[in-house]
Amino acid sequence: MNVGQISSKFRLSRPSISHHLKVLKDAGVVRSEKSGQEIFY
């Protein structure tokens, strides 16, 4: 899922989702994969 898809599921802003995903990624809880300009988690 990309940030837009996640934010629509949780009804939170994209910047908020991006911030929390970065924290989780830095902690090793989630991983990401870039495809073009989008990042999928």
Query: What pLDDT, on a 0 to 100 scale, did the predictor assign at position 18?
Result: 95
Separation of alpha carbons 28 and 14, rounded Å: 21
Query: What pLDDT, on a 0 to 100 scale, did the predictor assign at position 25?
Result: 97
For 1-41, the pLDDT digits (tens) are 999 999 999 989 999 999 999 999 999 999 999 999 999 99
Query: What pLDDT, on a 0 to 100 scale, did the predictor assign at position 11?
Result: 86
Separation of alpha carbons 27 and 17, rounded Å: 15
The residues spanned by each domain of the chain are 3-40
Q: Whose CA is closest to 18, among 28, 5, 35, 36?
A: 5
